[in-house]
Amino acid sequence: MEVVQVLHMKGGVGETSYANNSLLQQKVLSMTKPIREEAMTKLYCSTYPAGIAIADLGCSSGPNTLFVVSELIKLVDSIRQKLGQRSTEYQVFLNDLPGNDFNTIFRSLPSFQNKLKKQLGGGSGPCFFNGVPGSFYGRLFRHNSLHFVHSSYSLHWLSQVPEGLESNKGNIYIANTSPPDVLKAYYEQFQQDFSLFLKCRSEELVEGGRMVLTFLGRRSDDPSSKECCYIWELLAMALNDMVFEGLIKEEKLNSFNIPNYLPSPAELKSEVLKERSFTVDRLEVTEVNWNAYQNEPDLSDAFKDGGYNFAKCIRAVTEPLLASHFGEAIIDEVFRRYRDIVADRMSKEKTEFVNVTISLIKG
């Protein structure tokens, strides 16, 4: 499977699109907002630059990327006005893999820019937007051209499915039944990818430039712990049931593995220290419930179904990946079963994602 070609969120604005099923990711962005704001405030107040170049890596196709960008621009403009500094020009780079639905973002830009202009009022500098298709596991920008890099819920995706997973039969990711060589293969692929990511960004960021990166991760030192593997174990259950019923060929399932690694805080810090281009400013762990609509007021009955909501969220993220391997025909049935399995587990136990956010300074 060529990950660069098939890894992207479900495009468009339909019922199963990422744009309409990314509330969970938005909640994580709200939770990590203080870390982004602290990093941007320190960056701006260190040199008061006349222009700031911001890159959002793994921007996807929904409204979340513009939510982050507008927050950062409004923050800088507010500080600028309080301190009586000149207006700042902004260059914004939205990056994702070439298969991403950039058009949905671009179509929303005119209304977004008009709204931002009204919110900022007169005296604020212009804001220029660029789409940057390509893998962030390689160079994307000119040397010393970026001030601030942001990425949320993207860097736990690997550049490729690790090699040597033939013994991981019946699983689609690391599981408690996975042999040790599977755990080793996943970890080594993560080390290789994240080290390369850090090296590329160190060449593109100015001295003192900042990065705030949020991973789907884990607290535990055990990469097969339930807190990071459970969502994929439940999806594997749905797929295995379909193999048992003859709806999917067993060899098809055995040759499918998710190109994903959910790191611990210690693993992230270790790679940063090894690569040596950045210092760690903050390293934080948070949790978010699987059901993004939990505690939301005035919900219709449809949105009160946690299993339904969560299955739609995971479908928006994984459908292109699954469809490219198993074919489009099984998708509805896979996620119908997944919804039922997830709903059953959510009714019986606490189901949360662990988020690991690391704030880095170049130099």
Query: Is residue 331 scored above 70 in pLDDT?
Result: yes
Element (H, E) at 129: strand 127-133
The whole-number pLDDT of residue 2 equals 52
Residue by residue, DSSP assigns 137-194 as SS--S-TT-EEEEEEES-TTB-SSPPS--TT-TT-SS--TTS-HHHHHHHHHHHHHHH
DSSP category for residue 304: G
- DSSP codes joined into one string, 41-83: HHHHHHH--SEEEEEEET--SSSHHHHHHHHHHHHHHHHHHHH
* Cβ contact 95:134 at 8 Å: yes
pLDDT reported for residue 339: 83
Average pLDDT over residues 335-351: 78
Q: What is the pLDDT of residue 307?
A: 57
**Tokens 């671009």 belong to residue:** 106
pLDDT at 143: 97
What's the pLDDT at 344? 80
Q: What does the pLDDT read at residue 216? A: 87
Give the pLDDT of residue 357. Answer: 94
- Burial classification of residue 183, based on how many CB atoms lie within 10 Å of its CB (0-12 exposed, 13-18 middle, 19 or more buried): middle
Query: Using one digit for the tens of pLDDT, what is the confidence trace for 7-37?
Result: 444 444 444 444 444 556 677 788 889 999 9
Q: What is the pLDDT of residue 284?
A: 93
Indicate whether 1 pLDDT > 90.
no
Length of the chain: 363
The closest of 197, 296, 215 to 28, measured between CA atoms, is 215
The 10s digit of each residue's pLDDT in 176-185 is: 888 899 999 9
Express each pLDDT in 80-137 by its tens digit.
888 988 888 999 999 998 888 888 888 888 888 888 888 887 777 788 999 999 999 9
Q: What is the pLDDT of residues 183-236, one digit of tens each?
A: 999 999 999 999 999 999 999 999 999 999 999 898 989 888 877 778 888 888
pLDDT of residue 353: 79
- Ordered by where they begin, the domains of the chain are 3-362 (3.40.50.150)
pLDDT digits (tens, 9 = 90+) for 243-277: 888 888 888 888 888 899 999 999 999 999 999 99
Instruction: Specify the pLDDT at position 23.
Output: 59
